[in-house]
Each structure stands twice: as C-alpha cells, then as structure tokens.
Structure 1
C-alpha cells in the first residue's frame, strides 16, 4: 500500500508541477486513462519507470487489448527479447514496439477494425509514443488534436498494419499526407486518410460483388480493382489501328477488360491478360484526330497475344491526371505478376504479393478522394512501380521474395517458440476487412507471422530499401545538375558542345599536324617512337600507362580544387529570332537528309560490289580481300599493326606525298565508277478495316 500511495502522490505531483500539462490542455482519452491509473490501486505497479508517460499509457492500452497486465507484458518481453534488444539505450522503444505489434495483431483480427476511431487513435498514439519512448524524453508539443508525429515514427508503426502502409512506400505516403502541414503528420489528416481508406476498401468489396459486372466471367478469386468509363460524358476510348470505340475499362488483379459501348448496353468485354508472361509493354502514348500525335492522354498496351497494339485514351479537359492514374495501376498489376513469375512464388505468398499490389491501389484511391491539391506521383505510392524506378529496386524485390520464401519456416518456428517479435502478415489482417484474397488466405494461427518490421531491428527488406533510398538521393542530386545545365536554342547547344569538345579537338588537330608532316622533326620522332612501341609489343603497357596518367590527373584535380566547382564558360552566340531559328532547323534537317542519302549510296555501292553487279570492280575487291586474308593469317599481329600504322602515318611524308595524292585520286575515280544497286520503292497497302 505504501508503494501504491507513493506512486499516486508522484503522479499527482507531476500534474501539479505542470509536467503533464501537455497531456491535459484538452481532455482526451489520455486524460481519462491517466485519471483511471491515478485512482487505481494497481496504478503504481503498472507504471514502467523506463517509459515516458505517453509510452506508459500506450502500453497500458495494449495490455487491456491483450487481456494481460502491464507487468506480464514486461516479463514476456524480458523473457523473449535478446540482450541487444534489452540494452538500456533502446529498452524503452523496443518494449513499446513489442507491445504495439502484439496489440495491433489482435486488434486487426476484429472485423471492420479500420472503421473504429479508437483503433485509429491507438495507432497514431503509438507513433507519438515511439518518438518519446523513454522516461528521459519529453515531448515539446501539447497532447491533443494538434499533436503531430514525424516520418520515422510513421514509417515504423504504420507498416505494422499493412493495410495502412508498407515499409517501401511509407516515406512517400507520409510526404503526401503532410504536404500542407510542414512535414509533420496531424491526427486530423491521418484520420481523414484512414476514413478514405475504409471507403475505398468498401468500394472494392462492392465492385467485386456487383451483379452488373457478372458478364465479365472473372476467374475464381479475381477481384475488380477499378472501373472507368461508366459516365457517358467521360468514356474511355479504345484505339485499335484506325478504329475507335468508346466504352468502359475495368482493371482486376489479373487482367484488363474493355467493354465497347453500344446504343443501350456494353458489348462483350475484351480481356487483356496481365498475369501471364506475354512480353507486355505498357507505356504513355500520344493520340489525336486522323492519327496525329497531339494529346498526351493515352495508355499503350502491346503483347505477343495481340496482332496489333491497343491504345486506351482517357479524355479530359486539361492535364493527363486520369491517364497517369490508370497507367500506374495497370503497371502495378503487371509488375506484381512479373515479380511472381521471376521468383516463382506460389501458394499463400503469391496471394499475399497480389494483395500488396491491391492495397497499394486502394491507398492511391483513398488519397485521390481526400486530396484537394495537385495529384501526387502515383508511381511513388505503389511499391512495385517504385521498385521498378529506384536504383537497386531489384535488390528490394529480391529481399521481399526471400522473406516470402522463408515465411513458412518462420511461421513454424514462431508457433513452436511462441515468439512475439514480429508484426502480423498482410493476408491475416486483410481477412478482417470483409473479404478474402486468394484461395489460401485463411490464417488461424494464434502466433504472429513474419511481417515487414521486427522489434528493434531492420529486416533485409528494410536494409535494401535504405541503401536504395541513399542511392536515389544521389541520382536526384545528379539529375538536378543535369536539369540546371540544359540550355535552349540549337545555336547555344552547339556552342556548349564545341566548348566541351575543345580538348578533343585540340588533340585531334595536333595528331593531324603530325600526320600531315607539317613539322618533319616532330612527325619523325613520333613515328619512330610509336613504331618502336608496336614492334616491342608494348601497346598494352602504353594503354595502361595512359589510364594511370588519367587517374593521376583526376586525383590531382580533386586535390587542387578543394571542393570548388570549375564552371564551363561559354560565349553565347548572337540571339536568333523565330524565323532564323526555323531556317536553322530546316538547314539542319536538310544536312541530316544529305548525310542519310550519302550513307544509303555507300551501302548500295557495297551491295553492288558484293553481288558483282560491276564485275571488274568486284574482281579487284576479291583480290584485295584475299591479300588481306593472307597477311592476317601468316603475319604476326604486331607486324600487321606496325604496317598499318606506318602506311597511315607516312602517307603525307615528303617521300610519299606525291604518290599518295595520285593513289587517292585513282581510288576516288574507282569508287565513283561503281554503280549503286537498284532500289524499288513500294507503298504498303492499307488492308485494315474501317468502321
């Protein structure tokens, strides 16, 4: 009794001194729980001195959910946790995570748990307690509706409920939710998101049970994820060749369906399979009247099962948000099935992978509903889309696949040992949302399965993700420099390129001056020096020495620069008006056309030589090929290289200049005398049906 009285007096003293003023500014559930703890005879015994006040109250709520006392929870943690988890510097946070994961696992087994506002508040308070877990930590915010949490706390607690987030997209999701609140998450925004998430899940369940879509003849377990084009004023247009149909587009977790709109009903749906390995290509596409490419509002779909590509257009007055959304969710389903095929995932793990993609789409739908600002980057909120873009994303998927392959073993081990160090599986939590995914999603285990987060440690998935994000930051910085140096105008870009190529041009001019023997002494020394290197077989050493010299130059440049950046200074050419720019473009196109024509002529003349259309020239070429073959076959390679070098470098020496000019003239005359192979241009016939 003395201990209880002492603890009660301590709590009352803390309130009088103002230590809990951040808790009692506005009366909340914490106030009621605190009052209950203060007047409870067991209040002192249930107080864990290593934890902060807010962490103690969260742990107490967890103990109520689990039906055991706080002391029993602590004893279980001390028994199951390793010594590293019980280190004094990390004890409070690890203890909090342990209690939170166990309580969340039990809470999410209740049907409709996402609708319960007390559950939403519990998860948010867990994030707050995670930020201030230890008794020595004191939050600098008031405890109430205006309290906020940071990204690390959200990324740690939210993935413990896979419906809310997962470790791959949690940071990006947090940025979207805090776009208008300065990087801190408010409970009002969090509660609004969960409400939207619950409505999106209800919509998903309703769509899959709808009788209007029964004629799709879905496969067993196939779920309808999104439908568009039901409003006649905003249809989806399907383009196949030159034909166009308005209609309704439906995405499931296995395929894409399009129903062409007739007078009073929809036509038989066309199925585009996303689950099989059909070499599908899904990308943005431009459309326009009569085949013109004007409007960036369509999705291009191609697979080996189709004779020609299909284009789905999403008309809207401005922008292409509607198309971007559909492009992202179609790719998400395509990528998850590629992931399944690549790592040969089957059974429960296969169902869980598809569910992860499905929940990602549900989150995007919830954010679309509640967000009034500009639409977020959908790819960054869908885990398989994001892994396709992140550097090292393949390593993230590999870690995810390894976690899936070891899930059965972990589940067996945990059921034997009774371990509670892991969060719950996605399928087990999703079954409480009112629908079942896959054929193997029933999970009646009493223990907790391997999840994406573990108490006091990072999973291989989290480590791969952390490294990928670190590399991605470098890519973002590098891309910012790329965007910063882009200039407008053909003439300005040409000036920049000329300045960048100045060292190469200088070396080229120096080599040409040596090759044309403008200074006989320098050319003679250069020729003798390289001839000796080739003769001794030192070309490999020479190349290695050149690379070492470049490495030394780079190191010296780094040491001399001392962090400063050498800027490239370019003198901008005179400004050009619109007409001059058009003429410059036209001139560049004409020059490019001439180069292509000259290239085609060279290829046609070579074709004529190979086919002996001009026998005399072909005979000479045959003799030249035979001689070259004999030289290459019987002469050592270093002598061949030496002969080629001497032949090339001494062509314009004083002794050979006259003969070289004469030989060059004869070669030019011989080349001009070769006729080009004939070409017949035929126009392709358009046999496509017009509707």
Structure 2
C-alpha cells in the first residue's frame, strides 16, 4: 500500500504538468525547451561558413549570420575588407573589431531597406549580438558565456512569453543574467548604423536613458522593448492622418509627430489674455495646431508656424485661471505673428513632466528650422535636417511610452536641443553643417559583392531622409536615389567620423562642467546672514588690506604714515605704478604654479566659516526687508544725485551753475597742461592727508561747506505718467 501511495502523487504531478503545458504551451516552451531556428534546420555541415582565425568564436558566429544574409562567403567578405580598407591598423584587436564592423554595417544596411525591419525579431537579435561580439571581437579576447551564443536562437515571440519574469521591471532581467549585457562603447558604435535606432550625436544619452536602472549595462530585453516601442510609434504616426485630423489642412510633406488633449481627463488649455479654452494640440514637422473643443466637435485649427522667421520664442511659463500665475505647467509661444503671447497649459496632478515633454519636442522642431534658415540650406538638406529631428522625436516617444520615464530624468535624446545645451554644441552643428553641404542625392550602386565601394563611403548622403522615406513618410516630393542603394550611415568601419570626434569632446567637456556644477551646488548656503558671513570670510585678505590702509590714513602712527606717503609719491614720480598690476598678476601665477607642483597629493581643505546664530523664518523675513530698504535708499540717493546734476546742467540755480562751470574749466586746464602722474599724486596726497593733525580741522571745515552747498542745490522735477492699458488693447 505504501508503494501505491508513493506512485499515485507522482502520476498526479505528471498529469498536472502535462495539463499546464497544454494550457500554456508558449510559456513552458520558453522555460524548458530550446527552439530550433530555421537556419539550424536547413543548414548542413557542408554549408556552414568557414571561421575567420582573427575572430572570436562568437564573432565568427555573427559574421557567419551576416554572410548568409548578404549571400557572400566569409572568405570573400574578409578579402573585400582587406582590399577596400588597406590602411586599417593590423593589431589583432583593432583588425578583428574593424572586420566585424565592416561585415555588420553592410548587413544592417541591407536589412534596414525593408519597410518592416524594426518588427523583424531576427534584425533585433542580430543587432544586439553584434554589440556583444564588438566587445570581444578577437580570438584572444575573453570569451562570452556559452549561453550567449546559443541565446541567438532563443527568440522571444511576443511580450507574453517573457512577461512571466520581466513584466514589472526590466532591472530584474539584468539581475537575472548580467553577463549578457552591452556597454556604452559597443552601443555607440553599432546602434547608429541603423538610422532609426540612434543618432551619432545623441547615442550616448540614448544609452543612458535605456540603462538608467541597470548600472549602465544594456540587456537584450530592454533593447528589444525599445525597438518594439519605436516600431509601434512609427506605425502609429503613419496612420495618424485620419478624418479626425483632416481639418488641420496639412501642407505637402508635413508629418504629424504628436497629438495631445484627445482624452477628456487630460485636456490641453489654451490661454490668451484672461480667457482659456480646452482643445487638442498637434505638433507636426512644420507647425503647432490647436483645435478648440466646441459642442462635441473641434473648431477650425489655429496654426502657429514654426518654420517662418517671425522671432518665435517657446519657453516654460506659469499660468492659471483669469491670467493668474499659479501653476508651472504651461508652454508660452510668442512671435510677431500673434498679437499677444499664447499659453498652452498641460494640467496634471503631480509634477510637470507632460509640459516638459511638449516643451522639448516643440523646441526641437523650432531649433531645426532655425538651423535651416541660418545656413540657407536647399530643399534636400532642409528635409535631411527635419528627418533627423523627426527620428529624435520618435525615439523620445518610444522611451517615454515603453519605460515610463520622462525627459527630466535623463539627458535629452533630441539632436538640436542637445547641441543647444552641450558645451561646444556650436562645434557639433558646424560639423553637421559641413556634412550637409556635401550631400549627394544620387544613389550608391552596389557591386557584385553586395558592398558599396570604400571611396564612396566617404560621400555624404541624406541618410535620415532616405530612411524616413523607406519607412513610408514623405518629407520631400521626389528623392533621386536608386532603389538598390545602400544607406551609408554616420559611422565608418575602422575609422572615426569627425562628427563622432566632436561629440566625444563635447561630452567630455560636459562631464567636467557637471562635476564643477556639483561642487557649486554643495557649497550653496541658505540665509542672508550665512551668505554674508561666507562672503566676509572669502574677502578677508582684501578687507584686512583696506583696514591697514585706513590705519595709515588715520595718522595714528605718524612715522609709518609718512613713510608710506613718501614711498608712494616716489613710485608715482618714477612711473613705477605701471608695474603694480603686472607684478600682482605674476605673483598670483607663480603662487598657482607652486601650488600645482607641490600640492598635488594634498586635497584642498574645506573653507571653515563660523555660521551666524540661527534665525527663524520671521527674523529672516525682517532681515530681508531691512536689506531691501537699504538697497532702495541707495537707489534713491543715486537718483537724487543724477537729478541734481541735471539741475546744474540746465542752470536751475544760476550761482551754483557758474561755480561748477569755473571748476570744470580749471580742471580742464589742469588735465591739459599737468602730467597725469602728478594729478594722481596730488589726488592721493589730498585724500591721504585729510586726517593729519595739521589738516584735520581745515579738511573737516571744507567738507562741511561742500556738503551744505550740495544740499542747497534743488533736484530737477520728475513727473510719473501712468501706463495706458487702453492703448495696448487697441494695438
């Protein structure tokens, strides 16, 4: 009986597993079984490509797959590489990586000619495996785990198959298998080969956004999800021209990029003056459209042209009901084509990520058109620039919808926005312009090997425009290129593109600027008293110098004051004063160099400051009010001084005007006939000897008489005119 009892549960368990496998065949197949690809079934040992000795086993497997796609043997591909790129460094690691890039780029170019290549799982898997192989290309490289090579055959059919483990967090995928991940350099070299996936200018920021939660290592599931989302966005954009957008009256070549305000719970409010109205906002490659919501229907769209040169400005702004500035959730549009600024509000309960997203994509289109107008580009070059901006918006939409992260959480992946914010961004745009000016719209004919000639790879072609047209979008009516053309990207096998060089330099400068800014943020303190204490300590050497000069000028020690006066007068007479500033600068330079040479190992000690007593909020407000009152008093005194000068110039008090005129004539004669050094010396002696025992009483008397004379001078009249609001409304 005991044996029967042990057998029965086993049979029951087996029956349960069989039942689960019947009900969930895809899930259990992905866990317990390896699916054989068609290539494994069809290929035979005699047809398998020969391995290249310089490549690692995994790199050989990638090149073998490339040779099957291009229908070229691996030997021919290596011979073609050696003949077309003879100047490549022959170091083993460099040679193998350049050979891998050469084969991979041609394969990705060939596969990207298909309109639906983003939805092709073979393309996604191959692109990722190329990145893995790029990190260990040579035969002497550290081999990847054995599962990595076999992973190329374990395809993920749809989201349901891997949602068992990774439905909530892609970070779990990296923790589950952190060895099969890609680093930033491999991603930056391979991803831009496919124009839709990445731009060479923003590829590093794209990698940061994809790996924000995985320690700067890219897992295949994240990469796959990104491309799936990008494919979904592109297909949705192609189908955006429904009857619902028919009242926009789009011009030829205008592409709808984003629409918001269609959901009743998330409207877009347009504020003009004190009036506000909900509606639908649409961004295209040329303009912004707002359609006010009427009685169940949208009214005729108002077009805000982003292409025209109308001194347009787009910036974040506060808005609220009846023109109140309450909520930081709006975008302001201003140009000479509108009578007053237009505020587009994006209400949401928490944060302003929705507004920030729209601000980014609107600025990207606006800056792209500014770049076009500034450089006076022709039609094809203009379309290429817009296509670059369009792909950037596709990518930011894909990241936003796939991973629910927003532009405020990572650096922008929009090309022209990034060039505007990066240090040296103008150099990036200049390099981009030099490439645009060399654009050749003629197609590249493939030779029998399926690879374009190496010399023609250096020519510039509208790769973004051609890639956009192959995906089904039309920015330009006619594009003169052959249907069998190979789209040569911004990256070259075995070489570094000038655009890539300037981007790396700009990123390096940006890193140093961010590190410096971090130190600035650390030393910022709050409170007026605390900031004044910090400033007082920092200016302590100068304050001490001023204090010592004041002591000398007070003639408390007659010998020291006399010696200082005689020494300074002698220096002025001998023209030594011209060496004072150069000597100070040289002294500071020598001090800095000595500190650099002998203080390398010593960290900079923190600047110690005694903080003032803590004050509550009311005391700080009173202090702030006192400071504001003092500043206001200084401004008032300055205005009174200027008004009295105006009264003297216009002879409001004739006697005072006569006296000032005579003094000005005497001063003019002094400056005309007396050398300037003697004038400086006399001014110094007069100011320095005011506190001498022999001059103190007389000086005080003259200062008192001058002050009394100045008080008797009246100020010129001032009339305040109120602002005319009716005049503004009429205009």
Settle same-fold status: TM greater than 0.5.
yes
Q: How does 1:225-264 map to 2 (within 5 A)?
A: 225-264=257-296
Equivalents in 1 of 2:327, 2:656: separation in Å? 54
Q: Does 2:43 correspond to 1:58?
A: no
CA apart distance, 1:320: 0.2
Give, in angstroms, the shift of residue 420 of structure 1. Answer: 7.0
1:181-220 deviations in whole A, cap 9, x for unaligned? 332211111111111101111222222x233323333332
Task: Summarize deviations over 1:428-453 as a string: whole Å, max 9, x none.
Answer: 22222122223454532755465321
Partner of 2:418: 386
Residue matched to 2:235: 202
The aligned residue for residue 689 of structure 2 is 650
DSSP 3-state at the match of 1:227: strand
Which residue in the other structure is 1:15 paired with? none
- Write the deviation string for residues 368-420 of structure 1: whole angstroms up to 9, x where unpaired: 11113566546521121111111111111111111222233998899995547
Distance, in Å, in 2 between the alignment partners of 1:492 and 1:511 is 28
Structure 1 portions without partners, runs of 5+? 1-23
SS at match of 1:533: helix
* CA distance, structure 1, for counterparts of residue 625 and residue 239 of structure 2: 58
Query: Residue 403 of structure 1 aligns with which residue?
Result: 435
Matches within 5 A, 1:83-482: 83-141=87-145, 142-143=147-148, 144=151, 146=177, 147-207=180-240, 209-373=241-405, 376-377=408-409, 380-408=412-440, 417=453, 419=455, 425-439=463-477, 441-444=479-482, 446=484, 448=486, 451-482=489-520
Relative to 1, partners in 2 of residues 1:241 and 1:250: Cα closer, same or farther, differing over 3 Å? Answer: same
Partners of 1:46 and 1:164 in 2: CA distance: 31
Query: What is the distance in 2 between the residues matched to 1:546 and 1:308?
Result: 54
- Matched with 2:612 is 573
C-alpha separation in 2, matches of 1:27 and 1:634:
102
Residues 201 and 362 in structure 1, CA contact (< 8 A), matched pair in contact too: yes
Aligned-partner Cα distance in 2 for 1:587–1:542? 39
Counterpart of 2:640?
Answer: 601
**In the alignment, is residue 665 of structure 1 matched against residue 688 of structure 2?**
no
1:366 Cα offset (Å): 0.8
8 A Cα contact 2:443 2:482, kept in partner: no
In the TM superposition, what whole-angstrom CA distance separates every residue of 1:38-92 from its partner, at most 9, and x where no partner exists? x42253x621111112211211222222222221111111110133344433111
Q: Runs of 5+ in structure 2 lacking a partner?
A: 1-30, 155-176
Distance, in Å, in 1 between the alignment partners of 2:546 and 2:42 is: 86
Partners of 2:695 and 2:86 in 1: CA distance = 85
Tell me the secondary structure at the aligned position of residue 380 of structure 1.
Answer: coil
TM-score (norm 1): 0.89
Give RMSD over aligned pairs: 2.8
Q: Which aligned pairs between 1:479-628 and structure 2 lie closer than 5 A?
A: 479-561=517-599, 562-628=601-667
Secondary structure of the corresponding residue to residue 395 of structure 2:
helix
Question: Separation in 2 of the partners of 1:317 and 1:599?
Answer: 48
Range moving further from structure 2, 452-461 or 408-417: 408-417
Tell me the distance in 2 between the aligned counterparts of 1:412 and 1:64.
Answer: 22
How far apart, in 1, do the equivalents of 2:207 and 2:662 lie?
A: 74
Q: Distance in 1 between matches of 2:227 and 2:343?
A: 35
C-alpha contact 1:112 1:432 (8 A) present in aligned 2? no
Using the TM superposition, name which of 461-470 and 198-207 deviates more.
198-207
Normalised TM-score (structure 2): 0.84
Secondary structure of the 1:89 match is helix
Distance 1:404 1:374 in 2: 31
Question: Equivalents in 1 of 2:406, 2:124: separation in Å?
Answer: 26
2:239 is paired with a residue of what secondary structure? helix
